[in-house]
């Protein structure tokens, strides 16, 4: 069978490059690139995207290049009682650049005046400040470093023209992502010794927008036989087949007048040009909160996907209880808004087509717990002076899932009921966890010592959790229960 390429898709539009995108992962392909494709299809944007690989060891860009930057998006789910099952070849990416081998190509792009928009999704780890050296001939390691040099090249080539800046939309799931990216780029520019005039131009000529994105994109199919079934229907192979749900929401804290340049709403996409804050609290605490709360519990109970968790009566009852009794009471949004959003989330989790792997959700699970679950848990304790049962149980489950049993090379491994699995978290966190569990020997004193050490780590939790009344006791209790379960 042929691979997807220009030979397979013979009618492909050639459009001027207008967007630079840092990242080429599942989410950008299933969300932003798909949206640009929708606008192009209706002749309302007429521009293409250049994707820049954000890390040195990218596996996605070579695959995209082999397919002439084409890939298929499959959106499947149930909306308003209707089954939606659509496959479409997305043509919005014109090419990709590996900045580690072609940095000059990236800089040339910065000089192209047609490029007006910058999108990114480099995960939470990518939208972060790193101290790095200015080397004009090579790509800086970090995403903000690359962006700073990209902007500097534009500034110089346009001789500081106040109309030459970019519209910048970071899509990382980080609070105030636009403000944060601007702050980091300014800091990097200072580190690099760039002139004050450039830094003023960053502030005055560029627009950094805070955004919130929402669509469950599970990426390449992982269940047995699924890929082959798709290929047989398409009559081509596609290594970058991207699966997601039909639901999508993109909130951008920018003026509606931006629709003149980016006509998202005009093509019927679910875009809101408004403040992100209320959407963020609902989405992160309910949708991402439930995901993060369930992954370790589910995996430790032998489940593999969100759907399997939702279809298990006991686990489903636990999730409903957590939502109603532990998350809802501490959210400030109105009861009606909470209920409507939560119901839609439950329906999305029950999407029969959605094989969302718990192990994917569990990547960087402790960092996610800190941002997506811990605030709810702490708010609850503050409000009710008692520890919420399910959230603290899920905390214990996450800690146990992330118990480092051994290292092989640079990879840390966890173990549960005889099964071994690789752990992906910040390296320092994993080293710390390995140490914390090192002397554990099944006794309650040692368990208390382990939990004490983990909870007091302020780098992990941003506060000493041993000072939170009775949390430690609950976590010890649930960890002991889970450990007993693991040996039964």
Ligand X SMILES: O=P(O)(O)OC[C@@H](O)[C@@H](O)[C@H](O)[C@H](O)CO
Ligand Y SMILES: NC(=O)c1ccc[n+]([C@@H]2O[C@H](COP(=O)([O-])OP(=O)(O)OC[C@H]3O[C@@H](n4cnc5c(N)ncnc54)[C@H](O)[C@@H]3O)[C@@H](O)[C@H]2O)c1
> What does the binding site for ligand Y look like in residue numbers (CB under 6 A)?
23-27, 54-55, 58, 121-126, 143, 173, 213, 215-217, 219
Whether residue 354 contacts residue 76, with contact meaning beta carbons closer than 8 Å, is answered with: yes
480: tokens are: 């002991």
Residue 23 contact among ligand X, ligand Y, none, beta carbon within 5 to 8 Å by kind: ligand Y
**Residue 442 C-beta: closest distance to ligand Y, Å:** 36
Picked from ligand Y, ligand X, none, the partner binding residue 484 (CB below 5 to 8 A depending on kind) is: none
Tokens coding 433: 């966890």
Q: Is 114 helix (H, G, I), strand (E, B) or coil?
A: coil
Is residue 128 a contact residue for ligand X (CB under 6 A)?
A: no
Binding segment toward ligand X, per CB under 6 A, in 13-21, 283-291, 388-396, 451-459 = 283-291
Cβ contact 174:210 at 8 Å: no
Residue 301 is a binding residue for ligand X (CB under 6 A)? no
Query: By CB under 6 A, is residue 425 in contact with ligand X?
Result: no
Distance CA 374, CA 288 (A): 12
Q: Is 216 in the site for ligand X (CB under 6 A)?
A: yes
Strand partners, 211: 252
Should residue 29 be labelled a site residue for ligand X when binding is judged by CB under 6 A? no
**Nearer to ligand X by C-beta: 198 or 401?**
401
Q: Closest CB to ligand Y among 5 and 55? A: 55
Tokens read off for 10? 């013979």
Q: Helical H runs in 237-288? A: 277-282
Of 20, 118, 297, 361, the one binding ligand X by CB under 6 A? 361
CA atoms within a 13 Å half-sphere pointing along the CA-CB vector of 451: 27
User: Quick one: what does residue 305 bind among ligand Y, ligand X, none, with the CB cut-off 5 to 8 Å set by partner type?
Assistant: none
For the beta carbon of residue 134, count every other beta carbon within 10 angstroms.
16
Among 29, 146, 215, 301, binds ligand X (CB under 6 A): 215
Cα 235 to Cα 9: distance, rounded to the nearest angstrom: 12
Give CA–CA dist 95/33, Å, rounded. 12
Which partner, ligand X, ligand Y, none, binds residue 361 by CB below 5 to 8 Å per kind? ligand X
185 or 361: CB nearest ligand X: 361
In sign, the C-alpha dihedral spanning 249, 251, 256, 261 is: negative
In the structure encoding, which two tokens stand for residue 55, read together? 């890390």
Which of ligand Y, ligand X, none lies near 97, with the C-beta cut-off 5 to 8 A by kind? none
Cβ nearer to ligand Y, comparing 72 with 392: 72
Question: Does residue 288 belong to the site contacting ligand X (CB under 6 A)?
Answer: yes
CB of 33 to ligand Y, least distance (A): 11
Is the CB of 31 or the CB of 273 nearer to ligand Y?
31
| Least distance CB 289 / ligand X (angstroms) | 9
* Contact partner, 280, from ligand Y, ligand X, none, Cβ < 5-8 Å per class: none
Instruction: Judge residue 191's burial from the number of C-beta atoms within 10 Å of its C-beta, 0-12 exposed, 13-18 middle, 19 or more buried.
Output: middle
Q: Pick from 389, 262, 263, 381: which is nearest to 330 by CA?
A: 381
Q: Which residues bind ligand X (CB under 6 A)?
A: 173, 214-216, 287-288, 291, 361, 363
């Amino acid at each position: 069978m042929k691979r997807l390429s220009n030979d397979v898709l013979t009618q492909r539009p050639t459009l001027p490059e207008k967007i630079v995108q840092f990242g080429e992962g599942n989410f950008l392909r299933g969300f932003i690139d798909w949206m640009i494709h929708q606008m192009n299809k209706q002749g309302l944007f007429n521009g293409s995207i250049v994707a820049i690989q954000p890390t040195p060891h990218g596996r996605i860009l070579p695959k995209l290049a082999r397919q002439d930057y084409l890939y298929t998006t499959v959106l499947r789910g149930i909306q308003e009682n209707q089954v939606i099952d659509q496959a479409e070849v997305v043509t919005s990416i014109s090419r990709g650049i590996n900045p580690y081998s072609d940095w000059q190509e990236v800089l040339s792009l910065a000089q192209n005046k047609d490029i007006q928009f910058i999108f990114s999704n480099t995960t939470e780890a990518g939208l972060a400040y790193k101290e790095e050296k200015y080397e004009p001939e090579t790509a800086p390691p970090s995403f903000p470093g690359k962006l700073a040099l990209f902007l500097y090249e534009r500034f110089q080539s346009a001789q500081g023209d106040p109309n030459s800046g970019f519209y910048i939309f970071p899509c990382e799931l980080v609070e105030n992502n636009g403000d944060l990216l601007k702050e980091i780029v300014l800091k990097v520019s200072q580190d690099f010794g760039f002139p004050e005039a450039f830094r003023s131009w960053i502030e005055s000529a560029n627009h950094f927008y805070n955004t919130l994105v929402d669509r469950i994109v599970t990426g390449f199919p992982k269940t047995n036989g699924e890929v082959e079934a798709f290929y047989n229907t398409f009559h081509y192979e596609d290594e970058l087949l991207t699966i997601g749900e039909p639901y999508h929401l993109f909130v951008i804290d920018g003026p509606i007048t931006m629709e003149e340049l980016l006509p998202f709403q005009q093509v019927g996409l679910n875009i809101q040009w408004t403040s992100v804050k209320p959407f963020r609290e609902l989405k992160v605490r309910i949708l991402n909160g439930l995901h993060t709360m369930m992954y370790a519990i589910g995996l430790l109970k032998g489940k593999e996907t969100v759907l399997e968790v939702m279809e298990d009566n006991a686990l489903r009852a636990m999730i409903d209880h957590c939502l109603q009794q532990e998350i809802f009471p501490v959210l400030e949004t109105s009861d009606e808004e909470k209920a409507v959003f939560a119901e839609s989330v439950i329906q999305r989790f029950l999407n029969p087509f959605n094989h969302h792997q718990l192990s994917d959700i569990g990547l960087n699970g402790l960092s996610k717990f800190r941002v997506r679950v811990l605030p709810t848990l702490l708010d609850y304790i503050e409000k009710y002076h008692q520890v919420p049962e399910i959230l603290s149980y899920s905390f214990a489950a996450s800690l146990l899932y992330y118990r480092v049993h051994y290292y092989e090379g640079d990879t840390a491994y966890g173990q549960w009921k005889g099964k071994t699995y690789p752990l992906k978290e910040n390296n320092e966190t994993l080293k710390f966890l390995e140490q914390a569990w090192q002397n554990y020997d099944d006794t309650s004193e040692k368990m208390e010592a382990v939990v004490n050490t983990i909870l007091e780590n302020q780098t992990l939790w941003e506060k000493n959790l041993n000072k939170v009344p009775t949390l430690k006791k609950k976590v010890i209790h649930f960890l002991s229960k889970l450990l007993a379960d693991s040996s039964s």
